[in-house]
Chain A
Amino acid sequence: MAKVFRIHKEGSGNIIDWAKSHSYGDNVIKQITDPFGAKATKEITSIPSPFSRVDLAVTAFKTVNEVGLVGTSIYHKIVSDCLDIGEIFFNAENFKDPRDHSKNKIEILVWDRAQEIEKLKKSPVKEHQIVGETLDMYLNQDAKAYNFDKMDKVYLLNYKGPDRKDPQINIIGATSPATLFFSSANDLTYVSDHLRFRNNDRPFDSQYTPLYERDIEFQRFLYAFRLSIGKTQFASLFGDFDTYMDQSYGFLSEEYKAKIDALNEESVEDYEVLTDGGSNRVDILGYPVRKRNETGVIDSDFEILATNRSAIKPLVLPVEPGNKYKNLNYVQGKWEETYKAPMHDSADLASRQLPYVGLKYPYLTIDDFLARDMVFLPYTFNSNDFYNGNRDPRKSNNTFLLPLTKTFFRYFTVSDLMGTMQDGKNMFEIQPLQGGSVNVELRIPIKKGGYILYSRMYVPGKTIDLTDNSGCITEKQFGLGVMPLVKFGEGILPSYRIAMFSKSARTELEFANGESICEIEHHIIRREAGQNACSVESYVMEHNFDVVYATVDGLTNVIIPRFRKASGGSQFTFAIDFGTTNSHIEYSVDGSAPKAFDMPAAETQLCRLSTDYDEQEAIDISVAFDEAFIPSTIGENSDYHFPMRTVYAEWTDVNYQQHTETLAEGNIPFRYEKARNPLYNKVKTNLKWSSAEEANTRVKLYIENLFIMMRNKVLLSGGRLSDTKVIWFYPASMTEFRLNAFRGVWEKLFAKYINANSADKLLCLSESAAPYFFYKNRMGLTSNAVTIDVGGGTTDVLVIKDDVPVAMTSFRFASNAIFGDGYNWSPETNGFVKKYKGDINDRLVGNSMHLKDTLNAFQEIMNCDNSSDIAAFFFSLAGNAAVVRNRIPLDFMGMLCNDPKMKYVFIVFYGSVIYHIAKLIKAKNLPIPQVVAFSGNGSKTLNVLSPNEQTISVFVTRIFRKVLGECPDIRVIKVDEPKLATSKGGIYYDNSLSYEAIESLRFSLLGADDTTSTEGKKYNEVNNDKAIEAVSKNVSKFIDELFHISDANKFMVGSLGADPSLFEQIPELCKYNLVEFTRQGLKAKLNELSDWGQDPSAPIEETMFFYPIVAMLNNLAREISNK
């Protein structure tokens, strides 16, 4: 036996002297027993090659394959580190922040062999040349052992996360041509805490984890990668790694083995190719390295149990440590007691990394659901109409906005929010606390069952720190209203108006239906928020929405309206009398008796977020609702009711060249005549006959406003839109051209707001005929009758013979002829205004403690340069709620009744109308009416003539007799609310009188004599001195005859109460300047035609008889007022 100088045990014992022996290969190396027990802790550096790390990894795998996969030796460490590097490559995307690359924890660098070697060799630095030569030499000479000959590139992992050692380069590992991956020799424990794997494993720690204990997805990828290369080819390239994989497989559970068994050559395609972030595909010897397939690979109890989502389900993670969630499966391990997710994660969902495991997978935390700021408004909350967060109203009745985020609604619906968890707890709760703080609890259900509880206290003045759970509650002031609070059903175009009146300049609303943000159709700020007043804003929405995001001064909270579901089968009929001065709507439900449009408290159309804005500080908000939108109630017990002034308020900056919306740029000003018009609005009257270019738009907007109100009423009171009927009226004196435009407006609005498929339910009726249906149905009109509807602008007449309408006429001569300004004369010269303004002013001022608003309105209207408006205001005072409430004597009608001088104006007015009708009956040889029925708001002034119907009957009869000679007594009937007759008639309208039928009855005397009709005549044919003189003469004759009815003096002075001293002067005053007045009337008509784009060859559609009388009355009133 010999002693051989060697360090391994076995082998030939016969070696003496230098003798041939076996080369030291694996067998020998295996037999070398380390006297230090292979407990070496220092990294091995004795490989005489710059690529020693590559070699060491090979040795490590080889050694581990021999001694067993589990162990604590340096080789086990190296193997574990290599696998860690592989797993980091596999998870590389998880360690990146796609939004902010500077926050990437990992960067993949590429070393291009040919290029870099060349650079080094050609470097002017000698040492670089040496490095280059050396690397090149080893790569060439050691090619066989490490597949260097097949390697073009090395991909390196550069760690850039927290605790990095160097600002730029912290290489932790790389791809290896021999063992797939290899690790750096450095102590990499500083990385451990920042790169967690899916199963909570930490790379580079002292737990050397064998492959089979690693994330199964990573394992699956490795086996798939091997198959994609081919098992044999893989084994020849990466022999030790291959053996390692084979051994590791043996330790897998049956479940995991099955997963591996199921793989085939294509399975690797389940994973996307990893890139270095640029154009380089990471590869090992040309075989692409893949990355984790993020979809559907996680199975965690924390997965959100969402209503809205089906694809990726993020985890919902608790933010408080404790044992509440400790038994839940987190990723590939349990959620630990000490775990808590960060309160806030600024990464977007897709690039988030799960805490503790470092895995890129979406998760949600408290800040995703709960805002940091909460807003409250110091007004009583309207819990009926808005969701109050399940709070106890006894603790605080302030209006709290909900500090929820958009993210919440990505996963849950509003009904989820309002609902409860399985254990009966509310999903969401607001708990006001003493001292102004509020606690909010939100429960997010998770897959496992149960929920994650997020709780946050909002403290006034709290400074927000994203690292703790601080929340701040802040007072803001704004008013908000939603109109209507109805969810629109299928096939119905939603239409909402949202009112916003904010004291903060930076206020913004967003609307969402579930998670999708709805397009805002229109948003108008008529007044910006200022120091003294709230903003006035409207949002027009044509989408159903269920969430409102309110952002005030940068703080965004949520408002949830409690929309009602519109359901019901009632049939509604509306009749809209769009009048010159006043408009009215009657409606009937299921055939019931018609009644004036109303909006009782139960049907409030614009639901306000808070109920008590009328505190001193918020009066501007309270008023703005009425000013810019709609009052809470209309009708009985309300300050507002129909009929109402035909008036439209529009934004001072409105531009009708652009798209405009009603209840946005403008609205029906319910407070008109009751209070000062707000500065942001200007008020437009005389809509019906205005010929300005924008008038059509304004009319449309006005009527649209009415439509919205009607529609909302149907929806809110159990009606069915598709059954809803709408009747509108047109004055017979309207030109056909204009009528068609008018019709278009109604049809369009009907289609949009009521029903696009039931045009047959939109009916139109002549204003002349409408009262007939009222009187016929309600007053038992006898067989021969005349109905006279006196409006603000037109008077419409229908002659009925044997219950059948036989003639119809209409003329632009109505109450505006009494109270207006003639042919554009100044209100200062208007007799009524002149005479009464001082008195009315005195009475308003004298009662200003009650009538402050009204006084303001008065002053404003007085400045408007329109006598009709002023007169309308005078008339409105008697019905003004404040006047009525305080029993203040402000009855303009009463004043007029008691004014014997002005009485002559009304005598001439009504006289001319009756006289003209009598002439028409005579000319057409129609039967003398037994009854003359008055309607229309203008006919209210019949009361000025006489409150006694009998007296008026006498007046009418005498005029008829004057014209016709013999004539039986004619009975006059009138109603208390004559305005309503048209609308009510519309409700009763049975569709029996078509437009064409009515039109066929049209007949007008030209006005120049007793017989000539307008038929076939054109304006240019009468635009001459002869015709004008004929008309003026005819009128002059009328004056003579009026004042020569039988017992004229006695009747007018005695029965009507006219001033006897003026009786003789009046006819002369009336005859003043008649030719000129006639000419002005014709000119005005021609101008109007021209404004509407018609030339003077248009057919004459009304009598010229009243042309001079318009001016005559104005002149008469002025003259009388001077007396």
Chain B
Amino acid sequence: MAKLYVFGIGGTGSRTLRALTMMLASGVECKFDTVVPVIIDPDASAADMSRTVDAMTRYMEVRKSLDFNSANENRFFKTEICPIQDMSTFKLTLENTENVTFRDYMKTNQMDAASKALINMLFSQANLDSDMVVGFKGNPNIGSVVLNQFSTSDAYKAFSNNFEEGDRIFIISSIFGGTGASGFPLLLKTLRNDQTSQHWNYIKNAKIGAVTVLPYFSVEQDDNSGVDSSTFYSKTKSALAYYDRNITGNNSVNALYYIGDSMPASYKNHDGGSEQRNDAHMVELFAALSILKFAATPDNELDGKTQTYEYGIDTNDEDIKQVIFKDLGSETRRLIQKPLSMFLLMNKYMKNALASQYKFQPWAKDCGLDENFFTSQYYSDLKKFQDAYGIWLDELGRNKRSFKPFDEKRIVPLFDLVNGQKAHKIMWPLHDLFAKNYALMDSFLNTNWPKWNKTASKEQKFMELFYRATAKLTSKKYNF
């Protein structure tokens, strides 16, 4: 079983992984069974990273009670997400970067004069004096040195030792920041160059894809901050030129996905840390889609020159403020609109109906889904995951530009949920009452499902039920 290693570098890396996690949880198809996310971010306290790690951890928790044999239709949480083998965390930790300036990190004072001089030539005093505790503040040239320690880290060694033929690698980074911008070329060079592991040859020849996130947001101007979004563009242009010369230019990456947005969202200016918590943005969602795109691209299409991709939606409105499913290209729509909708329906139900219904509904009773179940760790994790999903959708919807496929806060009428999509009326034999809102969901849940694994675990049964029900519902209601 081939694995897709996804390196998420910096804040954008984490946020994109968050989107990927949400999509995989909803059952968006990934051609690789296993995704191994690796988060590289020296900013240990970054909120974006914490949320992503939390989500992925819950994902794993939830998923470990599920099985995906042929008897089951469930695709929620289908794709395996796991850390590198033998590692307990998704984070690739960096050493000696806390409370230390770049200068001290490199221990320049112990270098000989020539090296010291070169370092002083290559790096500005501001570079050298910068404190690396919150990443590289948009200085990927620093990152290019400091991050290089990851190649000596346990995580990287575990990665490279476990890498197998057929495995692929994907790298997420933003080009205009610090960590991602530097981590990407560095990681790429290391992957292509490092010969210290047993399987270096597999890695060297592996298919590697990467998404380069170009500016899509700006931060408020703050003269005291190391981050100045007025430089995002100039930095981007310079970095793109560098990529042109040294990434695509030497074909060291097989597929490169560019994405950015010319109508940037404005965020509060935080250098990093726990306050750097930006609302999810559709660009990250599209970036996450590039992972899936890459995963779905056959090997033979990735040989030779670097394949480069861009992402577009199907609208004539260049300045579109709010994007809904209908604006997306058909491929994207096909890929995500049904799973996301299904998972949201589940979310809605769990949030608004489950507590009052589970004691009475046959689908629960028959499966033994009693109070014990709904107070179990499993359910708690799932619930929390769903809460996060809801927040994620909410953030996407309120951002500029906004991706708002759902009116996710609406409680009733439940099926007016998908923006721009009118729900079909479903005729229900018993009573009209059963054909509306959450009752309709119960009705579908209570359907007599064929090929149903009666011996599956409660966790499995619960998930299976909701998958089947929401799948059918979205199909009937929206033709998804």
- Chain A contact residues, CB within 8 Å of chain B: 1-7, 11, 14-26, 28-29, 32-36, 38-40, 42-53, 55-56, 58-59, 62-63, 74, 109-112, 115-116, 119-120, 123, 125, 127-128, 130-131, 133-134, 137-138, 140-142, 144-145, 154, 156, 158, 165, 168-171, 173-174, 184-186
Contacts and interface: CB of A to CB of B under 8 A. Distances in A.
B314 interface: yes
Which 4 pairs from chain A and chain B are nearest by CB? A46-B235, A185-B124, A17-B329, A16-B329
A2 to B, nearest CB: 4
A16 B310 CA distance: 8
Interface in B156-202: 175-178, 181-186, 189-190, 192-193
B313 A3 contact: yes
Contacts of B215: 7
A1051 B214 CA distance: 148
B430 interface: no
Interface centre among B121, B141, B186 (most CB of A within 10 A): B121
Given A45-B124, A158-B117, 7 more contacts: A5-B259, A52-B141, A52-B144, A119-B112, A127-B96, A137-B193, A170-B120
Nearest to A158: B117
Contacts of B332: 17
Nearest to B179: A48
Contacts of B313: 2-3, 5, 16
Contacts of B192: 141
Contacts of B141: 45-50, 52-53
Contact of A119 (B115, B140, B312): B115
Contacts of A131: 106, 115, 119, 145
Nearest to A24: B240
Contacts of A51: 122
Given A18-B289, A45-B138, A111-B117, A3 B111 contact: no
A74 B234 CA distance: 9
Contacts, number: 303
A444 to B, nearest CB: 44
A23 B116 contact: no
Contacts of A47: 140-141, 238-239, 242
Nearest to A54: B122
A144 B246 CA distance: 8
B106 A7 contact: no
B99 to A, nearest CB: 15
A125 B246 contact: no
Given A44-B235, A46-B176, A141 B106 contact: no
B64 interface: no
Nearest to A140: B193
A145 B246 contact: yes
Interface centre among A6, A23, A38, A40 (most CB of B within 10 A): A23
Contact of A29 (B96, B237, B311): B237
A46 B181 contact: yes
A58 B327 CA distance: 40
A111 B310 contact: no
A145 B249 contact: yes
B46 to A, nearest CB: 19
A633 B425 CA distance: 146
Contacts of B121: 53, 154, 156, 171, 173-174, 184
A762 to B, nearest CB: 77
A716 B148 CA distance: 93
B105 interface: yes
A487 to B, nearest CB: 60
18 contacts: A6-B214, A7-B236, A7-B262, A15-B312, A18-B289, A18-B331, A20-B308, A21-B310, A23-B306, A24-B240, A33-B233, A40-B231, A46-B235, A52-B242, A119-B115, A127-B106, A130-B152, A169-B113
Contacts of A7: 214-215, 233, 236, 260-262
Contacts of B125: 165, 186
Interface string B130-148: 0000000011111111101
A11 B260 CA distance: 14
Interface stretch (B82-90, B250-258, B435-443): B250-258
A49 B242 contact: yes
B144 A16 contact: no
Nearest to A185: B124
Nearest to A174: B121
Contacts of B245: 55, 58, 142, 144-145
A26 B120 contact: no
Interface stretch (B267-275, B315-323, B376-384, B405-413): B315-323
A131 B107 CA distance: 10
A11 B259 CA distance: 14
Interface centre among B175, B238, B318, B320 (most CB of A within 10 A): B238
B1 interface: no
Interface centre among B142, B184, B193, B235 (most CB of A within 10 A): B235
B250 A48 contact: no
Interface centre among B234, B249, B309, B318 (most CB of A within 10 A): B234
Given A17-B329, A20-B308, A40-B234, A3 B114 contact: no
B250 A44 contact: no
A873 to B, nearest CB: 84
A48 B331 CA distance: 33
B238 A1 contact: no
Contacts of A38: 233-234
Contacts of B309: 18-21
A632 to B, nearest CB: 71
A158 B243 CA distance: 31
Contacts of A3: 312-313, 315-318, 320, 327
A38 B244 CA distance: 20
Contacts of B181: 46, 48
Contact of A44 (B238, B289, B308, B315): B238
B475 interface: no
B258 A21 contact: yes
B330 interface: yes
A134 B240 contact: no
Contacts of A144: 245-246, 249-250
A56 B238 contact: yes
B176 A2 contact: no
B235 to A, nearest CB: 3
Contact of B230 (A23, A36, A49, A168): A36
A2 B139 CA distance: 34
A141 B240 contact: no
Contact of B110 (A2, A43, A125): A125
